[in-house]
């Protein structure tokens, strides 16, 4: 089964396939799959119905409007998929906003291909779910040994962080902002990433969907550190809208602001993707939360300090 033709409709899945050494078998991708750089030449099998480049509030409005009378905010190119004739399509059932969903793929494939096509659907909610997905994909594609090696290296990297943190008793309160308007705090696997990196996550529960919050809740929690990591946003894209936070009444009085502990992280490339680079995301958080103990080299590319 190692020569199967694969279409990935999920950026994290594309990264998993590539890290497993099967990039040559990828024949199509989603419009959001952009890592590694070498996959950008692949045919694009999906598109978004909302207008790219809109601000956070406008994206939220468009998404809610589209979902009120449609199955998804994405469109699948059925004709292109028919031409590519894949053996495997990888998608997700975790979030209808984040990527093409399982239901969409099932609908699109009805009567489309003249052969059986394996659909792999991922639905991770925790870090262990993500690592299990790597093993799941590897098993189906008959490269389980590669997954074992990847997960062993990830565990070694996390153990370095855990070992150093054994000698630190202080766990600062960390707020991870996943959307700016309306405000959303990062849930799913992010609280666990914060904990492993030595922080105390607030206003979100590990394994549960990211909740919308009122800014008053953040004021009441008064976090020591705020990491802004909007879903799908690069650092420059986030900086375009950072005033949405700076202009909030009470912002300047937050402990994190007064102590200059505001950080912008690349949510698109790291934290929002349920793939192998969540290990990198933990290292990024370790650099941010315990800057004297950890220097992994992500500053400037994966995150930066925002001087208010």
Q: Is residue 29 part of a domain?
A: yes
- Which residues of the chain fall below pLDDT 50? 1, 70
Residues 89 and 195 in one domain: no
Residue 301 lies in a domain: yes
171 and 141 share one domain: no
Please indicate, yes or no, whether residues 65 and 115 belong to a single structural domain of this protein: yes
- Cβ distance 261 to 289 under 8 Å? no
Report how many domains make up the chain: 2
Query: Which tens digit of pLDDT belongs to each residue from 227-255?
Result: 999 998 999 999 999 999 999 999 999 99
On whether residue 54 sits in a domain, the answer given is yes
Distance CA 289, CA 276 (A): 21
User: Are 123 and 233 part of one and the same domain?
Assistant: no
Residue 261, C-beta contacts closer than 8 angstroms, at least 6 positions apart: 172, 224, 225, 226, 255
Q: Quick one: 258 and 172 in the same domain?
A: yes
Q: Are residues 262 and 172 in the same domain?
A: yes
CATH code: domain of residue 79: 3.40.50.1980
Residue 161: inside a domain: no
In whole angstroms, give the CA distance from residue 87 to residue 302. Answer: 35
How many CB atoms are located within 10 Å of the residue 192 CB? 17
- pTM to 2 decimals? 0.92
Phi and psi torsions of 219, nearest 5°: -60, -45
Range(s) of the domain holding residue 139: 6-145
Q: What is the pLDDT of residue 63?
A: 65
Q: Are residues 180 and 300 in the same domain?
A: yes
Instruction: Give a yes or no: residue 247 inside a domain.
Output: yes
Return the pLDDT at 303. Answer: 98
């Amino acid at each position: 089964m190692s020569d199967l033709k694969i279409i990935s409709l999920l950026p994290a899945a594309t990264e998993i396939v590539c890290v497993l050494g099967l990039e040559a078998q990828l024949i199509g991708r989603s419009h959001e799959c952009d890592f590694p750089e070498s996959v950008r030449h692949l045919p694009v099998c999906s598109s978004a119905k909302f207008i790219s480049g809109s601000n956070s509030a406008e994206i939220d409005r468009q998404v809610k409007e589209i979902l009120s009378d449609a199955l998804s905010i994405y469109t699948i190119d059925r004709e292109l998929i028919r031409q590519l004739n894949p053996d495997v399509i990888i998608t997700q059932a975790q979030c209808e906003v984040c990527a093409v969903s399982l239901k969409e793929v099932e609908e699109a494939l009805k009567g489309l291909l003249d052969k059986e096509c394996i659909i792999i659907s991922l639905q991770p909610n925790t870090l262990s779910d993500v690592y299990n997905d790597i093993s799941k994909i590897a098993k189906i594609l008959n490269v389980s040994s590669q997954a074992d090696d990847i997960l062993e290296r990830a565990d070694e990297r996390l153990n370095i962080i855990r070992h150093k943190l054994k000698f630190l008793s202080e766990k600062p309160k960390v707020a991870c902002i996943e959307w700016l308007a309306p405000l959303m705090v990062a849930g799913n696997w992010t609280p666990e990433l914060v904990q492993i990196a030595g922080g105390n996550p607030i206003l979100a529960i590990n394994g549960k969907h990211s909740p919308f919050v009122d800014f008053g809740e953040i004021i009441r929690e008064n976090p020591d550190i705020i990491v802004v990591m909007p879903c799908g946003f690069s650092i420059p894209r986030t900086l375009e809208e950072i005033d949405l936070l700076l202009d909030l009444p009470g912002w300047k009085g937050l402990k994190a602001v007064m102590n200059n502990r505001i950080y912008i992280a690349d949510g698109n490339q790291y934290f929002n993707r349920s793939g192998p680079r969540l290990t990198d995301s933990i290292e990024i958080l370790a650099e941010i939360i315990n800057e004297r103990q950890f220097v992994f080299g992500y500053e400037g590319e994966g995150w930066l300090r925002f001087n208010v």
